[in-house]
Structure 1
Amino acid sequence: MDLLHHFPHARQRPLRELLAEKQTWVNQDKKGFLRYRALLNELRHIRATWLDLNSDVVHIGRPSDLSPADRVHLQAALCSLKPWRKGPFSVFGIEIDAEWRSERKWNRLIPELPDLSGKIVADIGSNNGYYMFRMAFHHPTLVLGFEPYVHHYYTFNLLNSFAGLSNLQNTLLGIEHLSLFPESFDVIFCMGILYHRPSPIESLQALHVALKPGGSIIVESQAIPGEEPVALFPEHTYAKVPGTWFVPTATCLQHWMQRAGFHNIRCFCAHEMSSEEQRQTPWMEFESFQDFIDKDNPGLTIEGYPAPRRVFFAANKN
């Protein structure tokens, strides 16, 4: 079924052209793309007989679903998809302990989770789809992932080829393409994105445009401590991340959302970050949170800026 039939208000022609362009790009016969397509082709015959999408670990399949040969191939394939940033997953009994303990974030937003049943949902920056699988438990009509990074795009597609959930789909689009989806989504999740955008106000305005009247949004962001409506603009990097632009206080982010047109804005959770939630594991062997923080003063980043917090907002569009 055509994906775009879910979006009667979308700018159909430019959107179709863009999606076709992205598909042509990702289908190139280049090593960086072929390695991912080879994984899908080798393992696409495998199907899970059981899913558990309502526990902290997303379970896809049972160990008994695999032949011994398939298990060897699957183990190698999952290892080749390192680093795993979001999780945890159990894929046919293979336990994937990702860098982020993403179930903690999901559990924090559960009290404010909008009704997803029968809804059209967007997950902006969907990564490998951990949150999309958790959303699927609530029976949305469609969850559309916006994930421009090829590694994450193919990791989700591999996992969902096993899970077989037709109401979960991802695209190679990013938040900058939301203007093609006016009044298209009942619920939008934008988690961990805004501080990577050089113009967070424009991004929030785009989110507002893409939301249906009466729709709901969850915004989660890195933040700095403080009550003043200010944002940090790092000279080069923030916590070793070069693609960080504005890191607001919770008050500043609330003001941004107000100016972008959202209503009924509420900050329902704020917490300090820690290496208990973001850390190096055998499935993510690079630097992680403990390497980003001043070892002599955990209240500061390695650059000397205030250490990051996370803040959660819920809001609506009138």
Structure 2
Amino acid sequence: MATGPREPEVRLGAERLAARNAVTLPRFGLPLDEWIARDWLAINHGDWPRWLAALGRLPERPADAVNHLDQAAVTVTAPSGTPTGLEDVLRALIPWRKGPYDLLGVRIDTEWRSDLKWDRLIDHIQPLAGRRVLDVGCGNGYHLWRMLGAGADAALGIDPTWVFAAQFHAVAQLLDETRAGIVPTPLERFPHRPVFDSVFSMGVLYHRRDPFTHLSELKACLRPGGELILETLVVEGDERTILTPEDRYAGMRNVWFLPSPAVVERWLSRMGFVEPRLVDVSVTTEAEQHRTEWFGDRQSLVDFLDPQEPSLTREGLPAPRRAIFTARRPG
């Protein structure tokens, strides 16, 4: 725990986080008391006090600020300009992976252009207007804000990475928006209740050793008739094609399998989803995933591709190709 002159900032950050959760999380009608009443000062993570201190140093939202949640960069603008010290506070939360953001004039160029994925899926899913949405593996919550911009009534994200939770709360405070929330936990520890109209799982399935358990847990969170939006790494092939990396895939140790789109559709049907549909397949390029100063001194896509043959990873496997599927829980 931080001590000395930074401690008041740490405590203020924890108070701001707790106050927002107390307003946001009850609206989902789930047993989330652990996250509503949690002692945020007691989190056992070496960087957590530093991130709380950043939340505590965030300036107040200007009275003339306006939000824009329906464009590529999640944006809040104010004629009064950028508050002093805001960029330093947001840089204290590096690495920023999902975005982009434009927060009171501070433009955050994130590792992922997450708006490109959004553009690939939004015209193929059931309209989000008035819906209650869950985003599994939400990162810092970029897509939660886009869901609200598309008319969702409320959007909840779950992701176990603590810096992403801190980033989410920083953005939420600057937006002064309480219709979205985040629970920093894996899906297996999240209460599975059929209360969501739409459930998103994007970039998670290939990290799970058991894909069927993951699909079952997603289904359990959907109301009857609700829609699943699933995005995952795939390889070309037929209904029998599944690639299992020997060790790493594109530098990642926790990639367990890459199925063909036909295999994913069969998995969805096998787990009781109806009308499984492939709506997009795209090769990941540097235009979508790239190194930036807001990602810090970290490797990104270009570092994991074969420099002589960019259609392959450094391990000699097919370069990242991502597919988006939709399916419904029977009504």
Query: CA RMSD for the aligned pairs?
Result: 2.0
Aligned counterpart, 1:144:
156
1:54 maps to 70
Change (3 A) 1:172 1:46: same
Query: Is residue 3 from structure 1 mapped to residue 18 from structure 2 by the alignment?
Result: no
Residue in structure 2 matched with residue 108 of structure 1 by the alignment: 120
Displacement of 1:30 in angstroms is 6.1
Alpha-carbon deviation of 1:175?
A: 1.8
Task: Classify the secondary structure of the residue corresponding to 1:64.
Answer: coil
The separation in 2 between residues aligned to 1:288 and 1:28, in whole angstroms, is 29
In structure 2, C-alpha distance between the alignment counterparts of 1:141 and 1:277, rounded to whole Å: 28
Q: Does the CA-based 8 Å contact 2:25-2:36 persist in structure 1?
A: no
In the TM superposition, what is the alpha-carbon distance from 1:300 to its structure 2 partner?
A: 1.5
Q: Secondary structure in 2 aligned to 1:267?
A: strand
TM-score, with structure 1 as normaliser: 0.90
2:173 counterpart SS class: helix
Aligned partner of 2:140 in structure 1 is 128
| Higher mean C-alpha deviation, range 211-220 or range 288-297 | 288-297
Q: Distance in 1 between matches of 2:113 and 2:145?
A: 15
Look up the match of 2:226: 215
Q: What corresponds to 2:11 in structure 1?
A: none
Q: Are residue 158 (structure 1) and residue 158 (structure 2) matched?
A: no
1:29 is displaced (CA, Å) by 7.7
Q: Tell me how far apart the structure 2 counterparts of residues 234 and 176 of structure 1 sit (CA, whole Å).
A: 24
Following the alignment from structure 1 to structure 2, what is the Cα–Cα distance between the partners of residues 202 and 5?
A: 27
The Cα shift of 1:20 comes to: 6.0
Q: Say how many residue pairs are matched.
A: 306
Range that drifts further, 43-52 or 83-92: 43-52
Task: Tell me whether 56-65 or 90-99 shows the greater mean CA deviation.
Answer: 56-65
Contiguous gaps of at least 5 residues in structure 2: 1-22
The change in CA–CA distance for 1:2 and 1:294 in structure 2 (over 3 A counts) is: closer
Residues 60-75 of structure 1 mapped to structure 2, 5 A cutoff: 60-62=76-78, 64-66=80-82, 70-71=83-84, 73-75=85-87
- The within-5 A match list for 1:1-318 is 1=23, 3-4=25-26, 6-7=28-29, 10=30, 12=31, 15-16=32-33, 18-19=34-35, 23-24=38-39, 27-28=42-43, 31-43=46-58, 45-47=60-62, 49-62=65-78, 64-66=80-82, 70-71=83-84, 73-178=85-190, 180-284=191-295, 285-318=297-330
Q: Could you say what secondary structure the match of 2:80 adopts?
A: helix
Aligned-pair identity in percent equals: 33
Offset of residue 188 of structure 1 = 0.5
Q: Is the 8 Å Cα contact of residues 187 and 215 (structure 1) preserved in structure 2? A: yes
Question: Which runs of 4 or more aligned residues in structure 1 lie more than 6 Å from their structure 2 counterparts after TM superposition?
Answer: none
Distance in 1 separating the partners of 2:216 and 2:294? 36
Stretches of structure 1 that go unaligned for 5 or more consecutive residues are none
Question: Following TM superposition, by how much is the alpha carbon of 1:138 offset from its aligned partner in structure 2, in angstroms?
Answer: 2.5
State the 1:57 CA deviation: 1.4
